[in-house]
């Protein structure tokens, strides 16, 4: 039982690393195309108060 658990942990860690690498490659490709923009690179904006339509305020 312990060996099974150790194997699963090793397998999951290896699989997670592969998935993360694939995501990073896709993200880099999207950044080159201008599809993906990290939040840290967006212009700073102050929070705005939401306005309700007149029909919703009734």
pLDDT tens track for 42-57: 778 887 787 777 676 5
Residues 6+ apart with CB under 8 A from 36: 27, 30
Give pTM, 2 decimals.
0.54
Check if the beta carbon of residue 31 is closer than 8 Å to that of residue 37. Answer: yes
Note the pLDDT tens digit of each residue in 14-50. Answer: 999 999 999 999 989 988 887 877 777 777 888 778 7
pLDDT score at 31: 83
Please tell me which residue, 6 or 50, carries the higher pLDDT value.
6
């Amino acid at each position: 039982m312990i060996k099974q658990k150790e194997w699963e942990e090793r397998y999951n860690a290896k699989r997670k690393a592969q998935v993360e690498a694939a995501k990073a490659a896709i993200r880099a490709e999207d950044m080159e195309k201008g599809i993906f923009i990290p939040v840290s690179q967006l212009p700073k904006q102050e929070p705005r108060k939401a306005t309700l339509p007149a029909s919703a305020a009734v």
